[in-house]
Structure 1
């Protein structure tokens, strides 16, 4: 942590043991920006971050002095959006006729193909934020959530073309999601 403190200064270091609500106050009062950093990737820590509105990504840093096989350090970069996009009272939301017409070609599902959505994100964007430690934590959190469904901290939203389940991007196979929509 000490070596990374200079690199990530003035970002706030978050630890799994921290009181997240108190840290959010520090972020807001100190005008510390939207990003924090952490070396903790625990499922419960991520779940707590999600519950307070953080978006979590992962960064990979090379370890200096690594020999034959490159070594990397993975850093969690939780982001607290100052202005979040939240849909409230979805029944009152107005959708224009053209959008409704175009939407008939697609079908949305939730948590049907979590692993395929992660793979689709990597295919579309590379591993730029989905390095192995965060993927493992997301997968473990998702599996735990499937067995105990009180909340939806870690879900995938998949879009499919048509009601037949054909993927919107033309890949073969029944029901596979076409795009990475959300994690």
Structure 2
């Protein structure tokens, strides 16, 4: 319930324009590791392994608060949908096209192809409704943060199991 209230308050900030992006130099790897540490007990409860495929020390001009919200929502979703005794994979690097690439992949049930584009719509929940709690706001907030930082986001199914969220930010 607290997570739903937090999501609604975040949405109110976004809608009321109180959510100005205050850019400064941000070390994304530090923010990512801080959020992983915050979720450590939930990770341990489900015996989930975190596979850091590649996590580089990368800085960008961005808002540390909103980028932390982005990582928190993605990690929270991955934990909720990942099966017990499996893994969540993450990657953070500079790409050859001079952008920052972050992705997170879970070992959950995935999503029907026709629902992928709907996942970033406010209050959207998979059909039929999942027994996993949530507000349907997390990925819409993530999308707003990505767009506010001039980034792009793609959500795709992983063959045989899971979902992958890819985010690209300009440097």
TM-score by length of 1: 0.28
Higher relative contact order (CA 8 A, sep 6+): 2
Name which one, 1 or 2, has greater alpha-carbon Rg: 1
TM-score by length of 2: 0.29
More strand by share: 2
